[in-house]
Amino acid sequence: MSLLSYKIIGSGKPIVLLHGFMENQKMWNFIYENNTEYKWILIDLPGHGNSDNYFILHSMEFMAEKVKQVLDYEKISDAFFISHSMGGYVTLAFLELFKEYFKGICMFFSSPLADTKDKKEQRLRAFEVAQENLDGFIKVGVPNLFNQNLLEDLEDEIKSAKDMAKETSLQGITAALLGMRERKDRTELLKLCKFPILFLCGTFDSAVPSSQIKQLYENVEHITYKELPIGHMGHLEAPESCEKLIMNFIHKYY
């Protein structure tokens, strides 16, 4: 099978960047542009950006195996991972399969939890709506990811997220929805790790249960929790604050 679409920027210690649902590698300019001392590996996950579609359902494990193909091709045997939303689900599947690759993880507005029963039903409805009216699905769905108290102030950022979503193929969207719906709970997996982990969450994130995550890991020594008063799209809502928190963590532990 073909390699995923990716690019590499810089030549220092490797950092793998995995985007979220209906995003692509272009979302990461907020972090790599000012931190040129690292080797940034920007990857388009299956069905997103310029990467191919493969199946009706793209499982998190399948996506993880495709990411591993890129790292192996580039002879990268260990790295720090920064992963937004769905990218975090892929990262944790990768961790379960290939834990020797990890020097650290930033779960960037992402969760180790599996979908609840209600969330699984929502994914199926989203699958149907996307097939019937993709533009409508993007128009309605994307703003829900932002802080609902500041939608008027975030019009430009919402438009940017919508434009990126429109670059994702319908098959890529539906295959990811089905894959996310079937993912495993990997809460305990992170507790067993020996490397540093950062959860960066949003108080007003409707997609990730930040308070639940904080409670799950508050007494785990190698896991750090940081929260900003924003929604799910930290790279657009508060890019400077997100960059500072992530890079401070990386400089300390990597």
pLDDT tens per residue, range 186-234: 999 999 999 999 999 999 999 999 999 999 999 999 999 999 999 999 9
In the prediction, which pLDDT does 164 show?
Answer: 98
Residue 168 lies in a domain: yes
In the prediction, which pLDDT does 1 show?
Answer: 66
Which portions of the chain are predicted below pLDDT 70?
1
In the prediction, which pLDDT does 52 show?
Answer: 97
User: Measured between alpha carbons, how far apart are the two ends of the chain, in Å?
Assistant: 33
In the prediction, which pLDDT does 40 show?
Answer: 98
Question: Which CATH number do you get for residue 147?
Answer: 3.40.50.1820
Query: Quick one: what percent of the chain has pLDDT higher than 70?
Result: 100
In the prediction, which pLDDT does 100 show?
Answer: 97
Residue 209 lies in a domain: yes
Residue 153 lies in a domain: yes
Residue 33 lies in a domain: yes
Residue 163 lies in a domain: yes
* Domain ranges, residue 203: 6-253
Residue 1 lies in a domain: no
Residue 107 lies in a domain: yes
Dig out the tokens for 247 from the structure: 């890079």
Residue 193 lies in a domain: yes
The total number of structural domains that make up the chain: 1
Residue 47 to residue 174: CA distance in whole angstroms? 9
